Chains A and B, each alone.
Chain A
């Protein structure tokens, strides 16, 4: 592993030497060697357009295409046009790896925007590392990862789950927690972190924590909701922390309202329910239930309204909505474009170096900066569901929060940090024994796919 690391280093060293030599030779010569520079910059889009995840990922493909169109209308990048290369991994995790290889090896794209589920990201990781690509991952995830080639523009647990629980305890006065999730890696890891956090930091007893997992697409929630109701009737203020993913949320919320569980009695705070997911639900009975994100469509900011208008015009649908992962792509795309401008080239290694520290506006009136651990700074917003399917922001962090790749609440990851700047260049550096663990992408991908 260490040898491989060394190889990458020396290759990069030579590349950058060469690049410097070429640039130093004559800037004019580069400008005149027109035929190569007229080639469009290729932007790979790796989102499922069919299968179960199509529901969430199709809009992300459209978002990147819209951003590319806008960039081209504004004159492209480095004087070159951008071109989208769209592939469909069809919600099939191993196929994600194949399609990523196709994008990098055959299409030779300069950057990839893609993935939604953690398991698909784990599948793509070794390919992107092997072929030295760039991947912008726009979805909130469980953390415990930092790759040299991946930029995590969604929230890490400390940018979503932890602040959300802090809000429930400090602002709402909740003392009992039901952790309800879909049965896969993201909910299980997040709930592990939350359980440790609740017990160690807030002294919540085991009996005041209820954990329940259901399969993907679960639709019969009668029993679980009734259990939650009883769990909440013991006299202590109770909240549900939901990591239920995908369309299983619709029957879950319907059952909640049918069984008369009101947000004022037992609020549900969700980490995977956004505007897109709510389009399938009559939100009247859900008013007051919460979600924690880093962006809501209802953010009162002119940049946001421009983005929404552009999106409505692009899709031609007056009723269409925007959501958090779309904003993450917006930020990621602009960061990448800025880094390319800064580096003066789309070369992966130069962009990787240039992008750390790049700061671009987000859609909520602040700025997002790329940190050395390849995570970005984000404000944390808590929103309450309104009857029109939008969220009303009831709380937000006073400033942005930097994403933490390795959770401080899990014993194994407490001592790890990630820093991709020279000279450390490590995704899992152990501050106690001062060593770098090396890339574990291949093993992790295997483990995730085996599940």
Chain B
């Protein structure tokens, strides 16, 4: 790999200038060297991956301005060969007919059947080679983003022949980020060679490649360098431990936020109204399916669809919730066991409806670009963005619910009706209407949870079942009827679970949490934050 890289680097040094110069003169006069280009591509169409690797090197060494495009197409698996031997680039490979363009001229050729096309296949080793090759080409790119990615890629890939050219590049580079990365890359090489300068430069670096290099230096021959490397490693390990702690906390809060989202609707219907709604999970499922539906309605705009799903998911779940309340639950007031059974039946019906109406298979909900990947804090700590969005979303939903319950007339009426129904009615509050509104609110929040869950887990008919037990657990643990309790309980259960998981395993961690809650409920039957006053007695 390294040998290949330095080779690539050398030819890039030679061609760097010509490449950019040629790129500006555009691809107008491509016909004379087409035979040469075809020969280059032809060499790719062999069975042996070793030969393919050599063909890639040859393409890189050629001064063809289309080289980077070919390599990128090859990397993406879009460089294919038609039956008549023509090389094409597939523009879109879904369905049976694929639109293609000529690899040499870039002219669109219409659609071709996948039967008539043979992919120029690559494996992971070639993919690595291609990425490195493209990275080396990109070091000279005028595009800053490309330079940054390529510099980050070179960590741990530098060898004796690459050091000098990279050092020269560092001097010419304007961007500090690229400069830092390149210096690190050189330092890693030097540390591995057992040079003091490298070890010193790497002190405090959290990058895993740097740690590997320090480890190697610590086992080196020179005792002075080895000692320095060991000292550097100790401080790195210390730092890593802190980062690991922060990471676990984040994992816990993120899992907790999912629990809070799933439970908070239930905290209203079960906690405040006292209705045991086993179909709560299915309302979440409907919210998730709404997201899927919105993405189907707005193809190509998954982000917008997701944002619009927030009100839509709320509405759908709330309407279904009202239908359940009007058709079943209102007739079972004060009969919790029958409510439980009836709503369990409803949950099965809803699942089967989705299964027969849409599909028993999971649906793909696309994660928008801005929710993928992670936020890099440092080399050892990055926080996944989708989970962060869900965490914030959970907190916003919680705050909104608190506002509604504490600051609006609806919240006041809800509290009045649940505390003393007869008295509230005699004061002129329409208790039935309040029931409907409360149940709609709780159900709607379940729909919101579904929208969020569609970004974290599978959207399928069983989605709700996976969360219903956890939801009840959180509400009971937090204290029935107390929204704050639900928040604290959800977040703390999440953190406890994630702290336990590394040493107990996922299965055992879950069991320990359950046992803990059972014991806790024995001791404090009303949960973390029991309701006080007369309302609690009723």
Contact check, A318 vs B364: say whether CB atoms are below 8 A apart: no
Question: What residues of chain A lie closer than 8 Å to B115, measured between beta carbons?
Answer: 305
Give Cα A282–Cα B355 distance, bound, in whole angstroms.
22
A263 touches B127 (CB 8 A): yes
Task: Contact check, A172 vs B124: say whether CB atoms are below 8 A apart.
Answer: yes
Choose among A49, A250, A387, A392 the residue that contacts B457 (Cβ–Cβ < 8 A): A250
List, in ascending order, chain A residues with CB within 8 A of B95's CB: 318-319
A218 — which chain B residues lie within 8 A by C-beta? 506
Task: Please name the residue on chain A nearest to B361 by beta carbon.
Answer: A55
- Taking CB atoms, residues of chain B closer than 8 Å to A10 are none
Contacting B at CB under 8 A, from A387-402, are 387-388, 392-395
**Contact B212 A223, beta carbon cutoff 8 Å:** no
Report the stretch among A124-132, A192-200, A207-215 that lies at the interface: A207-215
Within 8 A of A (CB), among B255-292: 255, 258
- B385 CB–A CB distance under 8 Å: yes
Closest residue of B by beta carbon distance from A305 = B115
Q: Mark B456-485, 1 if CB is under 8 A from A, else 0.
A: 111010100010000000000000000000
Within 8 A of A (CB), among B329-387: 352, 355, 360-364, 366-367, 372-374, 382, 384-387
Q: Cα distance A394–B93 when bound, in Å?
A: 19
Most chain A C-beta atoms within 10 Å of own C-beta, residue among B215, B386, B507: B507
Q: Is the CB of B123 within 8 A of A214?
A: no
Pick the residue among A255, A279, A285 that contacts B384 (CB under 8 A).
A255
CA distance A55 to B363 in the complex (A): 11
Which residue of A is nearest B352, CB measured? A50
Per DSSP, chain A at the interface is mixed
Q: Across the interface, do B121 and A392 meet the contact criterion of CB distance under 8 Å?
A: yes
Q: Is the CB of B362 within 8 A of A235?
A: no
A366 within 8 A of B: no
Give the interface size bracket for B toward A: 35 or more
Chain B, Cβ-Cβ closest to A250: B458
Asked if B411 is at the interface of the complex by the 8 Å CB criterion, the answer is no
**Which B residue's beta carbon lies closest to that of A258?**
B384
Contacts A222-B387, A264-B124; is A215 near B506 (CB within 8 Å)?
A: yes
B285 to chain A, nearest CB (A): 14
| Per-residue B-contact encoding for A256-291, CB less than 8 Å = 1, 0 else | 011110011001000000001001111001011010
Residues of A284-310 contacting chain B, CB below 8 A? 285, 287-288, 290, 300, 305
Known: A258-B372, A264-B127, A387-B77. A213 touches B352 (CB 8 A): no
A219:B507 contact, CB within 8 angstroms: no
Cβ of B124 and Cβ of A288 under 8 Å apart?
A: yes
- B251–chain A nearest beta-carbon distance, Å: 4
Whole-angstrom distance from the CB of B130 to the nearest CB of chain A? 10
A220 to B506, CA, bound (A): 9
What 14 additional pairs, Cβ within 8 angstroms, besides A282-B366, A318-B96? Answer: A50-B352, A52-B462, A172-B125, A212-B505, A219-B466, A224-B501, A233-B208, A233-B211, A251-B456, A259-B384, A287-B127, A318-B95, A392-B119, A394-B123
Binding site for A on B (CB under 8 A): 49, 76-77, 93-96, 115, 118-119, 121-125, 127-128, 131, 208, 211-212, 215-216, 247-248, 251, 254-255, 258, 352, 355, 360-364, 366-367, 372-374, 382, 384-387, 456-458, 460, 462, 466, 498, 501-502, 505-507, 510
Residue pairs across A and B with Cβ atoms less than 8 A apart, 14 shown, are A55-B460, A212-B505, A220-B258, A223-B251, A235-B212, A247-B362, A251-B456, A258-B373, A260-B373, A263-B127, A264-B131, A267-B124, A285-B372, A318-B95
